[in-house]
């Protein structure tokens, strides 16, 4: 069965899926607080644009680094990529190298991340450098307010040390 979809709906769905996918990719580790060391001054260059630090604790990142098709399939299902991005599983299309690599392709979720786009437009390495972080209302922050609070705390640490 073929479904017709106009370009505006397609772009809108991809955007929403991208933001959601980005949050899902990083969500478990973010909410558990596994990537933050509150004792050290955060280095914006070592963090993603939203303040996360990609690790092999993320199934998709690990699957990409290991180029493991079985792990990619698991991540595809965990992150509900079929539903969110309307793509069938293809090990070559299921990947994530994070949001900062200059020499690697960006995943569909990373490409649609509004926090990433804003941080790049403002010329920052990470949103902890932005004076507007506390009032920022990007979708990532709306979907993961606990993560935003952790990033704001990281920003305070960044500015105080």
Q: What is the pLDDT of residues 128-138, one digit of tens each?
A: 999 999 999 99
SS3 letters across 115-159 = HHHHHHHHCCCCHHHCCCHHHCCCHHHHHCHHHHHHHHHHHHHHH
The pLDDT value recorded for residue 4 is 67
What does the pLDDT read at residue 78? Answer: 85
Q: Could you tell me the pTM of the whole model? A: 0.67
């Amino acid at each position: 069965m073929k479904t017709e979809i106009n370009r505006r709906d397609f772009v809108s769905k991809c955007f929403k899926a991208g933001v959601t996918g980005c949050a899902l990719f990083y969500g478990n580790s973010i909410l558990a607080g596994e990537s933050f060391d509150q004792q050290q001054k955060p280095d914006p260059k070592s963090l993603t644009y939203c303040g996360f630090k990609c690790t092999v604790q993320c199934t998709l990142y690990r699957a990409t680094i290991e180029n493991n098709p079985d792990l990619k399939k698991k991540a595809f299902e965990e992150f509900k990529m079929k539903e969110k991005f309307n793509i069938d599983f293809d090990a070559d299309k299921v990947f994530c190298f994070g949001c900062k690599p200059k020499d690697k392709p960006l995943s569909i979720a990373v490409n649609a991340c509004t926090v990433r786009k804003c941080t790049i437009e403002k010329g920052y390495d990470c949103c902890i450098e932005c004076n507007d972080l506390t009032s920022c209302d990007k979708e990532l922050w709306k979907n993961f307010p606990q993560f935003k609070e952790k990033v704001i705390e990281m920003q305070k640490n960044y500015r105080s040390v």
